[in-house]
């Protein structure tokens, strides 16, 4: 996510002069560029807008950027209100070019510059590792830990609960069991009770802001014995080993990383005889939504233009055929592309 303008980090510049600033970013809707942002050096913007190149993750270069010597405050300033994408800045007064491919060479290069060890020193051992800290992951981790298993719960966001978390705030609906109801209970500050409950379970380790990027398997690739995760803030890596892994990522992270076959949509009833499955398979799935929160203001506030959004039907309870064109339905909500 984008840093807010009031947040910053400091860089030690060895000598005053002109530097090249490489910014690794992504234009996440290339047709409309909703993620444009500036880089501020001691509060002054570099005269270039980043995140509007039309490219997927790549480095963008600003040349001849003046820097004073000593500690310099660097911040990112959002220009659109819809969050830009930026995961690294590389400042140099040389002709060195950062690695462009997101591969092991880039990973090692970034570790070296950040002063991180090239290899993990040890494997943290558990009985069960749960990947994904949404409600499914919370229930899996809670149940495993209460059965006495040493359990690790790995989530890539700073809060527990996924869509039910304090960040988004969508309370689970439909028929809820006692575990979901207990973990998803909402506190006065908007967060769910899961974190408070988990702190009281000694054999449950909660690892937030950790993104799994690699699975390690046996020779025939049929058994996962460990997963590697990277902290999204520090870049530090950890290895989690266990005889059992539960994928609650919502996007088949472990399956995709180890090359396992995956399915998308709803499978047909004859495939697995699940009572709620349709007779015929389809590829229906949830979309990615843009969530807006509202609050009272002293004067009217204009709603921002969202030409990069796609119209969907308002009946969100009916998941069949939600996607629709603006011409098909006069009343629409917005679904981010």
Burial 195-222 (b: 16+ CB within 10 A, else e): bebbeeeeebbbbbbbbbeebbeeeeee
> At CA 270, angle to CA 266 and CA 276, rounded to 5?
50
Domains in the chain (CATH in brackets) are 9-114 (2.60.120.260), 123-257 (3.50.50.60), 266-337 (no CATH)
Q: How far apart (Å, rounded) are the C-alpha atoms in residues 197 and 192?
A: 10
Q: How far apart (Å, rounded) are the C-alpha atoms in residues 133 and 129?
A: 11
Q: How far apart (Å, rounded) are the C-alpha atoms in residues 37 and 25?
A: 10
Q: DSSP letters along 172-233, please?
A: --SS--HHHHHHTPBPTTS-BTHHHHHTT-TTEEEE-SEEEEEEEE-TTS--EEEEEEEETT
Q: State the CB neighbour count (10 A cutoff) for residue 37.
A: 24
pLDDT of residue 130: 98
Q: How far apart (Å, rounded) are the C-alpha atoms in residues 15 and 280?
A: 67
**Among 120-134, 197-211, 257-271, the least confident range:** 257-271
* 176-193 pLDDT, tens digit each: 899 999 999 999 888 999
Residue 322 has pLDDT above 80, yes or no: no
* 206-254 pLDDT, tens digit each: 999 999 999 999 988 889 999 999 998 888 999 999 999 999 999 899 9
92 is written with which tokens?
Answer: 């140099």
- Give percent of the chain above pLDDT 90: 62
CA 89 to chain centre: 19
- Please list the residues that pair with 334 across neighbouring strands: 311
Strand order of the sheet with strand 309-313? 288-289, 332-336, 309-313
Nearest to 2 by CA among 76, 73, 68, 106: 76
Give yes or no for a contact between 168 and 180, defined as CB atoms under 8 angstroms apart. no
Question: What is residue 108's three-state secondary structure?
Answer: helix
């Amino acid at each position: 996510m984008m840093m807010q303008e009031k947040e910053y980090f400091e860089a030690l510049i060895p000598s005053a002069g002109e530097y090249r600033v490489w910014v690794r970013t992504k234009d996440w809707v290339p047709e409309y560029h909703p993620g444009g942002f500036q880089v501020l050096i001691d509060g002054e913007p570099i005269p270039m807008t980043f995140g509007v190149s039309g490219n997927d993750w790549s480095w963008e270069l600003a040349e001849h950027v003046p820097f004073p010597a000593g500690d310099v405050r660097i911040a990112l300033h959002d220009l659109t209100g819809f969050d830009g994408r930026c995961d690294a800045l590389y400042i140099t007064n040389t002709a060195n070019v950062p690695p462009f491919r997101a591969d092991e060479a880039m990973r090692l290069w970034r570790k070296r510059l950040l002063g991180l060890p090239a290899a993990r020193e040890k494997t943290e051992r558990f009985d069960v590792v749960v990947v994904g800290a949404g409600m499914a992951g919370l229930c899996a981790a809670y149940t495993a830990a209460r059965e006495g298993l040493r359990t690790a719960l790995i989530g890539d966001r700073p809060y527990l609960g996924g869509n039910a978390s304090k960040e988004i705030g969508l309370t689970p609906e439909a028929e809820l069991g006692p575990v979901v109801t207990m973990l998803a209970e909402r506190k006065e500050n908007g967060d769910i009770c899961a974190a408070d409950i988990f702190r009281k379970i000694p054999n449950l380790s909660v690892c937030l802001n950790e993104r799994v990027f690699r699975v390690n398997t046996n020779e025939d690739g049929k058994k996962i014995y460990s997963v590697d995760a990277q902290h999204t803030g520090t870049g530090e890596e950890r290895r989690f080993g266990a005889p059992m892994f539960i994928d609650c990522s919502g996007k088949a992270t472990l399956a995709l990383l180890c090359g396992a076959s995956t399915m998308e949509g709803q499978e047909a009833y004859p495939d697995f005889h699940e009572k709620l499955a349709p007779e015929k398979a389809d590829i229906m799935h949830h979309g990615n939504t843009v969530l807006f929160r509202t609050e009272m203001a002293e004067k009217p506030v204009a709603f921002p233009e969202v030409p990069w959004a796609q119209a969907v039907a308002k009946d969100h309870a009916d998941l069949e055929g939600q996607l629709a064109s603006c011409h098909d339905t006069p009343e629409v909500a917005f679904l981010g592309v």
